[in-house]
Amino acid sequence: MTKKQRILEIKKRFLEHYPNPKTELKYRNIYELLVCVMLSAQCTDKRVNIVTPALFARYPTPEMLAKADIKELKEIIKSVSFFNNKASNLIKMANQIINDFDGKIPTSQEELKTLAGVGQKTANVVLIEYFEANYMAVDTHVFRTSHRLGLSKEKTAIATEVELTKLFKTDLSILHQAFVLFGRYICKAIKPECHNCFVVDFCTSKSNFKPA
């Protein structure tokens, strides 16, 4: 099997196995999605979903979040990793939304990246989930599984994103979500469930690859 055939077969199997994958973050609009994704950095979706009901009840709009008392906000999200920095960035982000974007969440990658606490991965995840944009976002799950499958040897998440985008070209939003779920439940960092794996014949290593 050639490299191109291998890539196409892996893509085919992922699309068949995950026909309509979605984030496990719970949200009702793009504002809530953005906040959820910001909170999820180096934190589990499960943990984020525990704190966001109280967060959105208290700050249901960017306008209200912009005026939040940082001590109160920290208290609400204190069980989330790096809650001090995240609380500060959330308030800054909300103020930018009000001052720079007339209270509306920007919908382009470059504009999203101007917001406090929003890097390329966060921007891409928002666009993938909300608009099914043809982007690839690389978190720890995508990084680990793509390296185990021999799809990338890059050392950073951004470089891996570029490589996967070139390899797959289309259906990137579906593939991103599929790789996340695959890495979370099957190709786990510790004790991967190889007996349940639908691409086990393409696996090159069980090493727990992490971005540099």
Helix, strand or coil for residue 203? coil
Q: Who's near 88: CB < 8 A, 6+ residues apart?
A: 70, 116
Q: Pick the catalytic residue from 46, 69, 74, 139.
A: 139
Task: Give backbone dihedrals phi and psi of 117, rounded to 5 degrees, phi first.
Answer: 80, 5
End-to-end CA distance of the chain: 31
Q: Pick the catalytic residue from 4, 121, 169, 201.
A: 121
Alpha helices in the chain (DSSP H): 3-17, 30-39, 45-58, 62-66, 70-77, 83-100, 109-112, 120-131, 140-148, 157-168, 172-185
Does 121 qualify as catalytic in the annotation? Answer: yes
Does 139 qualify as catalytic in the annotation? Answer: yes
Active site residues: 121, 139
